[in-house]
Amino acid sequence: MLRTILEMDGFAVATVERGEQVIPTAQDFRPDIILLDYYLADMVGTDLVHTLRAHPGRLATVPVIVTSGRDVEDEVLAAGANAFLVKPFEPGDLPDLFKRLID
């Protein structure tokens, strides 16, 4: 559903299933923003945010939004995420948030 909403709003979307896939996919895809769940199959979102922020290149500055049903906002923002969304959230709000973080 999220992919459809974002694509309808003009965003190109790439998806991965595991945190270890984010860096190589992002290097190829060159995203303007990264949306990730706090709980990934192979790591927690804060670990991935730390990895992205330490990356020696463009990925270190790409805005990151982390989502979770748990109250981990302080943790993800301290790790370097640009925004946190508590689940459930309105998927229709994502395009505006993306545009705000990209501009």
pTM above 0.95, yes or no: no
Tell me: the pLDDT tens digits for 10-47?
899 999 989 999 999 999 999 999 999 999 989 999 99
Question: What structural domains does the chain harbor?
Answer: 2-97 (3.40.50.2300)
Q: What b-and-e string marks burial along 20-44, b requiring 16 or more CB atoms within 10 Å of the CB? A: eebbeebeeeebebbbbbbebeeeb
Q: What is the pLDDT of residue 38?
A: 95
Q: Does residue 50 surpass a pLDDT of 90?
A: yes
- Work out the number of other CB atoms within 10 angstroms of the CB of residue 67: 21
Instruction: Look at residue 91 and tell me whether its pLDDT is greater than 90.
Output: no
Task: Give the pLDDT band (50/70/90) at residue 2.
Answer: confident
Asked if residue 82 has pLDDT above 90, the reply is: yes
